[in-house]
Amino acid sequence: MAPCVDSNLHVRPSWEDLKGRLYCKRAQHNAHGVQHGRAWESRHNPANSLRTLRLSADYVEHLRRKPGPKGRRSSRVLGATPDESFIQRGRRPSGLPHQLRSEMNRLFQTECAYIIRFLESSDEYKPQKRVSVNLVMPDLSLATSEMLLAVLTERPSLEQHPAFRRMWLPCVARLLEIRWRFNSSEVGS
C-alpha cells in the first residue's frame, strides 16, 4: 500500500513554496521570527530524502557552539481541538541536521537584495576543510535555480561567483557559509 501523501507537498518546492506556510512557520517565541516547518524533515514528503551537505569545518563548529536549544521542544502536534492533538512518534529532530534545516529555511527567506550584498562581499571566497553532514531535506534544486535566476537578473556580474560553480547541493552549502561569514563580519565591525 502506498503511503498517504499530502497533495500540498511538492516534489521540488519552488522559492515561493519555501516562503509559504507549509515550509515556513512564523513564531512569536523564536528570536529569529521564523522556523522551518515539518515539511523540511518529513519522510512522507516525496521531495525529502537523505542528502549529504559538505560544509566547512569552522561553520559546523560555529553551529555546534551556538547558544540556545538545538532541537524542537515538543513532539505534540496540535489539532483543531484538544482531542485531535497527538504525540508524534519517534525522537524529536535535534542536533546539527535540525540546525542546518533551520539555517537553510532562513537563507531561503532572505530577500534577493541581501543575497546580492553578501555575494558581492565574498568574491574571493575559497572553501575551507570540509565536513560531511547527512540530513533529511527536500530537493531544493528548483528553489536554488530560481534564486540564482533572480540574483543574476539583478546582477549579471555574479554569474561566475564561486558559490554557483556546482550543482544545487554544494551551492546551498556555499551560500550558508558565505551568509554566516558576512553576518559575522557585519557584527564585528
- Distance CA(41)–CA(101), nearest Å, equals 8
| Prediction pTM value | 0.76
Q: Residues near 122 by Cβ (< 8 Å), separated by ≥ 6?
A: 178, 181, 182
* 3 state SS for the chain: CCCCCCCCCCCCCCHHHHHCCCCEEECCCCCCCEEECHHHCCCCCCCCEEEEEEEEHHHHHHHHHCCCCCECCCCEECCCCHHHCEECCCCCCEHHHHHHHHHHHHHHHCCHHHHHHHHHCCCCCCCCCEEEEEEEECCCHHHHHHHHHHHHHHCHHHHHCHHHCCCHHHHHHHHHHHHHHHHHHHHHC
Q: 117-147: per-residue pLDDT in tens?
A: 999 988 777 777 899 999 888 888 999 999 9
Give the pLDDT band of residue 79 (cuts 50, 70, 90). low
Percent of the chain with pLDDT over 70: 68
- Distance CA(112)–CA(147), nearest Å, equals 8
Judge whether 53 and 135 are in contact, CB under 8 Å: yes
Q: 3-28: per-residue pLDDT in tens?
A: 344 444 457 888 787 777 777 666 65
Is residue 89 over pLDDT 50?
yes
